[in-house]
Structure 1
């Protein structure tokens, strides 16, 4: 398709809205987007009233995603035509301020993406364009301009300080501050003049919220001089609107925040920033804001629509309480009692809306309630405020709070059925002051020494777990108490709680069984205090109950009747994953059943992926079953169950699942019996895996690399037999060309060198070296230097003589591309980079063995580069003498434990990229170029120092030629190794 027209694009966008044609339409749009003018036509569709709103919105969404994918590459070069770039920059701001809000949001995000790359250096007119369009007396136009400005400036909030960042901010401040003050004045005047005109009032309050957000943006890194000079006027308005009331701005719904609440919420965020960063210039105004916030907290209702406002207001007071001087205002018993009664209790006590959420949307209740979640809730904010006060005045706050705890416990004891919510409040209050510091994913590290946490658990919490008539919310409180204070309970106590928690997986209440699963998972993640990587519970602890636990958890997951409901509860699947990791090889007898359940879940959820965390934990679970049980099963056992579904996902191109499928295919190959033929399904995949289009999706590259590594390790000749050696090297070339993917290119290249017959690579050696050297010259990043260094040490360290590799091969690889270049690379990159290879045992071994072989075994290096020999020897001794050096050869058991190091250290919170998430449970072991050195045992080299000592002995009299150039310490150390 060489030409593209607006009607055909609109038709494809309309087709993308219908499930039956969505995928094909999406593919057609993707195939068209490379044509010049495509993006401009998308904007024309967004702008045109001739198209239905649904098509305009679809066009805006596709445009935003197109800009995210295609605006620039990682080097900042445009991926669309220059004419389209110019046209988009000229039109998009004017368009955004005129379209409806739903379209504005998408275009605003697109502008933010464009600005992230181009502003201000390549789009200096953007700011002038915005300012010129500020439509004073026209709130709609003003709103569009402010939306764009905020979408650009908010990028500064999470950034670290840098000269480049401050140059950009100064550029904006010089142009934008005066118009900002003018539009603030104009909006304030318009609000005053239209206090009884609801439509105009609401429009101006929407602008006011954007103004306050931009106020935050412009001050997020440092307070500008302009804002200091105009502090009285600006903060006068801020205080005014924190106090402002107007019935016309009320929504009339208990759960829908109105523009006034949204403005006050933004104000609380702004004044929290000022109290954290700029108290020295703002301190005189602080008391007025504290008083106003106090009044706000004590007079605002408990309806859900005020939740975010109350949370932000409490966060502001929490920040004030962090200041030792400012906190003194809260230091008296009378004030603390008022705080508990008027602020903490109203925001911590259970409300009717909370009970409704517990019943009607239990997964949302759980996510909000869970410690460490990102949810902004009243309870969380009230707890944080109380804990901060407790840190300042521990004895007094504990005493005051415990009097209320006792009061509520007595209320509950008087009538357990009627007053169950009093017990809920008591438990939350106690937990709030019992914790010292913050609650993290690892639990509580320290507690208030004035309180007996274990005693409180025994007397007030444990009974709620055992009584059949305990209210469901109190049962959740009891489970959560164990979850929060699990580190304070002994292994014996946790062991005794385990059957109770397991039994609660059978509870009918969603939140109860979900919290039980969460707590079981966290208990199984507890590490022994004495050993960093040793878990408190091992397979012997969990093996007797693991099968039943997994059965109950999978049954709960499979209650979902749609793909979305099936994948709704990631906490259940995370618990499945953790139980399997803990049970290890004990799952072998029933591993087939687990795989069947998981395969069914993957197949069903692939129909409509909706929960990335659930998806990740599901694939992690499959991966760990394969790793632990696969070696004990007959070849192909799991393939028969998994392969049809995995291949179907590839065939249907389920974008969210494809990278996971590649990773699972890798581990299925890894655990198979070495030397067995490559299964037919993989033989059919080899050629498609090398298709360039497949590698264009960024999320595929790491997973595809992993799969190619596994195929090379299993049967590298398959590429030779199918005439695909050049295609594999082409993949390496493509990966090397990008700063994002070059690390995967080098990982693939290591396997190519290690497994591919050398005669097949002879023709391509010089080209490979040239590509590496050209990349070093063009884009010399730290990561690239590390990868080049690693490759050369890896090639040098390979001891298998049948592979015809080793130190001379590494030297010649570069020198055949450019004579004498290895010496320059060695001294300029390899030696300075060597210090970065002390992080783990495998890297240290690679460094020491590779460097030692270059120094002591390479005839070419010893002659042609003899002037660099001493710096190499010094680096070698430095590595061996490093305090962080750990013997990797101890008794031959290190490798066995290292296989599952990644699993044991699985992150508590998975970081999900936009397109790829690595499965920790299927991480490939680094290639060991000298595996025989790690065998250990009598009569063999058992330490790196002994290995180097043997190399020095073999070097013999040649060492004397360098002794005069070596320092006494290095010379004596090397000779000392020969005595080990």
Structure 2
């Protein structure tokens, strides 16, 4: 091994890993580890620390995390080339699988598994074609060692699970077939072997061995899912009856002696707790059953015909298991997945017919739906001890596998087929529950809680959407009437303390669910009630109030796009809402506590986005209030960024404040925000840097056009340019888009000062680094276009233009992508449209292009092969088509090369221009009204670069002065024809056919 090979090196890195876990030393330790990371062999050294029992478990875990991060940051570049030395790459691949099998710590294996998945993304299977054979060989050697088997199966799952969300393609199926040929048969053999061992373990009463073998079955079933996620493998289809028999045995409730024996042995050993323990984790048998139901949902959804002969047996066993499973929390995943399976089956009318009678449906409602809608002691404990987590499960779908959610989905599937019967029988139970609530008694509120939830379930057709809530209502019920009669009182009661918190939550949840059914008058009455709940002392109540307000403000009319809650209704409450929300967020000054509740910060963001510039006129100076609070929050949470959702919404709120409150007088916000944001950059808070760079760009954009650099906060733009040119910032991939966003804003604001400060060449160096990268080529064009638009070309850029074109033509020739060609053609048209007066123009492009090869005619081939073809076929954005029209018109009017050297090119250019003018591009004015939501549930959220939607720059029109493109072309060609002594009119007659001549003359005469 290279630089980090000796025991002394390992010990030194181990000490730094230990120090990184100490809050008093972690910053210095992380800095030192980054320096080690630049040395060859660092990732391999971490791997060997993980493998060595000389180090403490905490050190080995920190090493595994560091290894995963090192692989994520430095395994391959944007073009898929390895960044580590070939010897290190080979050594890591050679050691990683064996280490996953050997390491005894599940948390360490989890980190290594993520690293395997990252490596597999780029290398499997072509550059790691020995992996599957290695796994199979090791599995054969490790049959008697459950820990090794588990590690190897986890390696396989970390790789094959990547297929689940992918689109079908030939390359994907080639990879899957490579795996199936080697892995499918050994996997089925291992499943049967583990099943037989589990039976023997149960007979012997060996609980530890039984748990190990059940965990093996669990992992194998997860791999069956992975290998089936795109198509049912032929080997699985052939063996489906045998596989089904085995899976059915584990779902059996009381009719399988072996399962009863396993359950007895596990219970005696405390696996999963006893029936009175409502806090225990799922047991080994629960995990197996949950994995089986997940697999069955996949098979029933995608391979219905293959599963159909076995479906009746699976339904009978799943129903029996559902009826006999207790309400303990440890069974939640099994019950919810069981219900998901039944819901999947019930989507087919013929399969759902068994429930189409009062007797069967009554059993569904009374034995399945109502018990699983009723809150349990564990739910109430979560409500009290972790209220934010309770809301997440209820609102976000962060724990989609809840009993309530699964039971509701099952009921809705039946409602879809048998609407009259389901509605009638459900409403009977709703009325009975409301009657029980009115009768009073201990915990009477629970009856009403279930009643409201059940009514909501049957009142909605289909699944509510995140954007609009319930969009289709059951015509047999009236949700708003039910709300006014039974639910509204829980919000309007003057004494909120007399209403149980969950009933207040139910009322707000009801409004949230049916928000698209409410009009402005309804919101005029409801909004003050929700705002009042923000002052509640109960965390669940004020959190749900924030959720309900935020979702209401986000709602738009589908037809018009107008806000469902008009801005004028929100602005009077703006100051009060922001004050309450900030008081709640800052109640506990500890960093991890302050950022615990992302729903509050999301509501802050939404209020600012909705009221927009009205925030300046709202009572109570909300601009100052917001700026002070956001700055204070930033200063606290930067010491321990712990909740990516919270700080994402936090920076979106800052972006909204800048976007809507800064333009009238940017200096005020600059004075409030620049130094706190600069402190975040100076402190090197990695998670925050991309966000802060975007905010600085937005601050610069808010300044007056041509206002120069500096601003009212001590010339911060100059400091930003100096910081942005530091290589360390560019090393983090997530910083790159934000840095380019910042640099383009700086260039637009102060191209002259940048050129005088000698920044032209460094900026072009950044352009070169970006444009040669497949991942960042578009960003390179963004920076170059900004420089061409704002720099004085003759004074600052002219000496570098040949080099710029050399870089572009080299990539166009050797490594072009479709995206690169499109941006290259757009750049060409922009260059031409800027014209000779700006130091550019078509002839300058021709001259510099042909100068790249002495005696060559580089331009002609590029123009014919790429420019004309792409212009005709791929320019679809109105701005791109507009720039193309202006560039082509300028070429026709002014280029000497197209007069003397390319007469056919002049004709082809004219034809291309006329084809674009058949449907003249119209660039719509940009608006601040629509700000899309980030998908924080996306798996990539928080990894790498996350754009701030409030800081997005709308597509820039480089020629806003041209309003009517066709009219401009006609006027320009007429004027230039006079300047050139009638040359254009002459070519029209000589070089165009009758139809083209008539069309262009019509444009010129218009």
Q: TM-score range by the shorter chain?
A: over 0.9
Q: Out of 25, 30, 39, which is 1:35 matched to?
A: 39
Deviations along 1:579-599, one digit per CA (max 9) or x if unpaired, are 112212222252123211111
Could you say what secondary structure the match of 2:584 adopts? Answer: helix
Aligned to 1:478: 507
Aligned to 2:73: 69
Deviations along 1:496-535, one digit per CA (max 9) or x if unpaired, are 1111111111111111111111111122222234323x32
Query: What is the distance in 2 between the residues matched to 1:537 and 1:26?
Result: 48
C-alpha deviation, 1:390, in angstroms: 1.1
Aligned to 1:115: 120
Does 357-366 or 36-45 show the bigger shift? 36-45
Could you say what secondary structure the match of 1:932 adopts? Answer: coil
Q: Out of 138, 141, 150, which is 2:145 matched to?
A: 138
- Once the two structures are superposed, the pairs formed by residues 415-454 of structure 1 within 5 Å of their partners are 415=440, 418-442=443-467, 443-454=469-480
Query: What is the distance in 1 between the residues matched to 2:163 and 2:3?
Result: 41
Q: 1:878 to 1:286 in 2, by over 3 A?
A: farther
Could you say what secondary structure the match of 1:122 adopts? Answer: helix
Asked whether the equivalents of residues 767 and 817 of structure 1 are also in contact (C-alpha less than 8 Å), the reply is: no
Answering whether residue 194 of structure 2 is matched by residue 177 of structure 1, we say: no
Q: 1:233 to 1:550 in 2, by over 3 A?
A: same
Q: 1:514 to 1:875 in 2, by over 3 A?
A: farther
Answering whether residue 743 of structure 2 is matched by residue 739 of structure 1, we say: no
Asked whether the equivalents of residues 797 and 929 of structure 1 are also in contact (C-alpha less than 8 Å), the reply is: no
- Once the two structures are superposed, the pairs formed by residues 927-966 of structure 1 within 5 Å of their partners are 927-934=956-963, 943-954=964-975, 958=984, 961=987
Could you say what secondary structure the match of 1:370 adopts? Answer: helix
Asked whether the equivalents of residues 191 and 201 of structure 1 are also in contact (C-alpha less than 8 Å), the reply is: yes
Q: Out of 44, 56, 61, which is 2:60 matched to?
A: 56
Answering whether residue 264 of structure 2 is matched by residue 247 of structure 1, we say: yes
Q: Out of 109, 116, 124, which is 1:104 matched to?
A: 109
Query: What is the distance in 2 between the residues matched to 1:587 and 1:783?
Result: 41
Q: List gaps (5 residues or longer) in structure 2.
A: 253-258
Could you say what secondary structure the match of 1:313 adopts? Answer: helix
Aligned to 1:828: 865
- Once the two structures are superposed, the pairs formed by residues 341-356 of structure 1 within 5 Å of their partners are 341-356=366-381
Q: Out of 742, 745, 760, which is 1:710 matched to?
A: 745
Query: What is the distance in 1 between the residues matched to 2:640 and 2:156?
Result: 36
TM-score by length of 2: 0.91
Query: What is the distance in 2 between the residues matched to 1:368 and 1:449?
Result: 29
Asked whether the equivalents of residues 2 and 35 of structure 1 are also in contact (C-alpha less than 8 Å), the reply is: yes
C-alpha deviation, 1:386, in angstroms: 1.0
Query: What is the distance in 1 between the residues matched to 2:374 and 2:486?
Result: 18
Answering whether residue 88 of structure 2 is matched by residue 84 of structure 1, we say: yes
Does 432-441 or 286-295 show the bigger shift? 432-441
Aligned to 1:218: 227
Q: Out of 582, 598, 602, which is 2:630 matched to?
A: 598
C-alpha deviation, 1:631, in angstroms: 2.2
C-alpha deviation, 1:372, in angstroms: 5.2
- Once the two structures are superposed, the pairs formed by residues 772-787 of structure 1 within 5 Å of their partners are 772-787=808-823
Does 473-482 or 639-648 show the bigger shift? 639-648
Asked whether the equivalents of residues 371 and 439 of structure 1 are also in contact (C-alpha less than 8 Å), the reply is: no
Q: 1:410 to 1:908 in 2, by over 3 A?
A: farther
Answering whether residue 339 of structure 2 is matched by residue 321 of structure 1, we say: no
Query: What is the distance in 2 between the residues matched to 1:966 and 1:353?
Result: 82
Answering whether residue 468 of structure 2 is matched by residue 461 of structure 1, we say: no
Asked whether the equivalents of residues 588 and 632 of structure 1 are also in contact (C-alpha less than 8 Å), the reply is: no
Q: List gaps (5 residues or longer) in structure 1.
A: 889-893, 935-942
TM-score by length of 1: 0.94
Answering whether residue 271 of structure 2 is matched by residue 267 of structure 1, we say: no
Could you say what secondary structure the match of 1:133 adopts? Answer: helix
Deviations along 1:277-299, one digit per CA (max 9) or x if unpaired, are 11212211111001111111111
Aligned to 1:506: 535
Query: What is the distance in 2 between the residues matched to 1:390 and 1:797?
Result: 61
Query: What is the distance in 2 between the residues matched to 1:761 and 1:274?
Result: 61
Aligned to 2:571: 543
Aligned to 1:938: none
Query: What is the distance in 2 between the residues matched to 1:545 and 1:930?
Result: 41
C-alpha deviation, 1:837, in angstroms: 6.9
Could you say what secondary structure the match of 1:446 adopts? Answer: coil
Aligned to 1:920: 949
Could you say what secondary structure the match of 1:19 adopts? Answer: coil
Answering whether residue 246 of structure 2 is matched by residue 229 of structure 1, we say: no
Query: What is the distance in 2 between the residues matched to 1:445 and 1:967?
Result: 57
Deviations along 1:391-413, one digit per CA (max 9) or x if unpaired, are 12222211221111122122222
Asked whether the equivalents of residues 13 and 59 of structure 1 are also in contact (C-alpha less than 8 Å), the reply is: yes
Answering whether residue 675 of structure 2 is matched by residue 644 of structure 1, we say: yes
Asked whether the equivalents of residues 412 and 457 of structure 2 are also in contact (C-alpha less than 8 Å), the reply is: yes
Query: What is the distance in 2 between the residues matched to 1:127 and 1:620?
Result: 45
Aligned to 2:256: none
Aligned to 2:214: 205
Query: What is the distance in 2 between the residues matched to 1:371 and 1:140?
Result: 36
Aligned to 2:664: 632
- Once the two structures are superposed, the pairs formed by residues 255-334 of structure 1 within 5 Å of their partners are 255=279, 256-334=281-359
Between the two proteins, the alignment pairs up a number of residues equal to: 959
Q: 1:905 to 1:217 in 2, by over 3 A?
A: closer
Q: 1:904 to 1:73 in 2, by over 3 A?
A: closer
Asked whether the equivalents of residues 678 and 714 of structure 1 are also in contact (C-alpha less than 8 Å), the reply is: yes
Deviations along 1:199-233, one digit per CA (max 9) or x if unpaired, are 10011111111111111111111111111221122
Q: 1:809 to 1:923 in 2, by over 3 A?
A: farther
- Once the two structures are superposed, the pairs formed by residues 472-621 of structure 1 within 5 Å of their partners are 472-532=501-561, 534-588=562-616, 590=621, 591-621=623-653
Query: What is the distance in 1 between the residues matched to 2:397 and 2:998?
Result: 54
Does 915-924 or 205-214 show the bigger shift? 915-924
Q: Out of 626, 629, 654, which is 2:685 matched to?
A: 654
Answering whether residue 207 of structure 2 is matched by residue 186 of structure 1, we say: no
Q: 1:814 to 1:329 in 2, by over 3 A?
A: farther
Answering whether residue 678 of structure 2 is matched by residue 678 of structure 1, we say: no
Query: What is the distance in 2 between the residues matched to 1:444 and 1:627?
Result: 32
Asked whether the equivalents of residues 519 and 564 of structure 2 are also in contact (C-alpha less than 8 Å), the reply is: no
Q: 1:904 to 1:115 in 2, by over 3 A?
A: closer
Aligned to 2:784: 749
Asked whether the equivalents of residues 921 and 965 of structure 2 are also in contact (C-alpha less than 8 Å), the reply is: no
Aligned to 1:760: 796
Deviations along 1:918-943, one digit per CA (max 9) or x if unpaired, are 11112224443223224xxxxxxxx2
Q: 1:342 to 1:636 in 2, by over 3 A?
A: same
Aligned to 2:132: 127
Deviations along 1:354-377, one digit per CA (max 9) or x if unpaired, are 122111111001011116555321
Query: What is the distance in 2 between the residues matched to 1:405 and 1:835?
Result: 63
Q: Out of 922, 926, 931, which is 1:904 matched to?
A: 931
Query: What is the distance in 1 between the residues matched to 2:132 and 2:12?
Result: 35
Aligned to 1:891: none
Q: 1:60 to 1:905 in 2, by over 3 A?
A: closer
Query: What is the distance in 2 between the residues matched to 1:450 and 1:878?
Result: 56
Does 368-377 or 740-749 show the bigger shift? 368-377
Query: What is the distance in 1 between the residues matched to 2:211 and 2:364?
Result: 33
Could you say what secondary structure the match of 2:600 adopts? Answer: helix
Q: Root-mean-square deviation (CA), in Å?
A: 2.3
Q: 1:360 to 1:817 in 2, by over 3 A?
A: same
Aligned to 1:366: 391
C-alpha deviation, 1:415, in angstroms: 2.1
Query: What is the distance in 2 between the residues matched to 1:322 and 1:21?
Result: 57
